[in-house]
Amino acid sequence: MLPTVAIQGFEGSFHQIAARHYFGPETLTAPCATFSEVVRQVASGSTGAGLMAIENSIAGSILPNYTLLRKSGLRVMGEVYLRIRQHLMALPGQQLSDIREVHSHPMALLQCADFLNQYHHWQLVESEDTALSAQRVREQGRPGVAAVAGRLAAELFDLEVVAEDIHAEKKNYTRFLVVARPENALEVERPNKASLYFHTNHTQGSLARVLVRIADLGINLSKLQSCPKPGSTWHYYFHADLEFDEPEQLQAALRDITPVTDGLEVLGMYHKGTTH
């Protein structure tokens, strides 16, 4: 049976799109107002899994989520890459020339500024969520009002896409991690990616020693993120994503780097995600 998946954001959000890609189109999602709430729901067992954005190809790491994840005790069981596509949507039958007002999250309005600025008479209204803006266009049934959101929002709320792919940066991707409680994070067969975090003793070359051992085993370090180490001002721990061909490489790496770290934990071993 598919788990209910805690997602950040509302029905029709990019998190829901990503959840459907990973778990299938019938996936039930539990919308959460914040990422902390996603983690709480999964950790408490209210939902079987959760999905959280961890980085964006343009904006970079979502740093607070690295900290949330480390503190949560949850495990990473997979990842999804999603291309962020923003569309202008309105009530069916509305044309571009009918639009007078556009609602969306400030970040989405910014991503589409080049397009939106062509229409000087449009009033741009900031809201807390892209999909929620779309839902309100439907609920309030106001002609002349459009929302900027992902395609799923148009489908769910029966809106028509008036202009598609209106975002300026076409190569905008978000990476989502699929998380679960350790007992629910099913072991995948022959994983080719792992997420772990470690800290070193902060002597000269301590990080270099770890990375050399990883590289010597033919493992690709696809991401390295430093995060503040709680309780030790200006000391860091590192979150690392490793890609490899054979799980034996990872086992060898864990064996080789443990002695040169001051602490190491594997957040999860999983299959490298695909891009949708």
Q: How far is the CB of 271 from a second copy (least distance, A)?
A: 17
For residues 38 and 271, give the distance between their C-alpha atoms in angstroms, rounded to a whole number.
22
**In sequence order, what are the beta bridge partners of 51?**
7, 178
Q: Are 157 and 16 in contact (CB under 8 A)?
A: no
Beta bridge partners of 60: 56
Among 215, 245, 251, 263, binds a second copy (CB under 8 A): 215
- The one-letter amino acid at 223: K
How far is the CA of 25 from the CAs of 22, 28, 230, in angstroms?
9, 9, 40
Q: Which C-beta is closer to a second copy: that of 158 or that of 245?
A: 245
Asked if 256 interacts with a second copy (CB under 8 A), we say no
Q: How far is the CB of 195 from a second copy (least distance, A)?
A: 15
Residue 33 touches a second copy, criterion: CB under 8 A = no
Q: Which stretch binds a second copy (CB under 8 A): 30-38, 138-146, 176-184, 211-219?
A: 211-219
Under the criterion CB under 8 A, does residue 113 sit at the interface with a second copy? no
Interface pattern 219-238 for a second copy (x via CB under 8 A): xxxxxxxxxx-xx-xx-x--
Q: Which of residues 151-180 bind a second copy (CB under 8 A)?
A: 171, 173, 175
Half-sphere exposure of 108 (CA within 13 A, CB side): 28
Q: Return phi, psi of residue 95, to 5°.
A: -105, 165
Which DSSP helix (H) or strand (E) runs through 241? Answer: strand 236-243
List of residues contacting a second copy (CB under 8 A): 56-61, 63-64, 67, 171, 173, 175, 204-205, 207-208, 211-212, 214-216, 218-228, 230-231, 233-234, 236
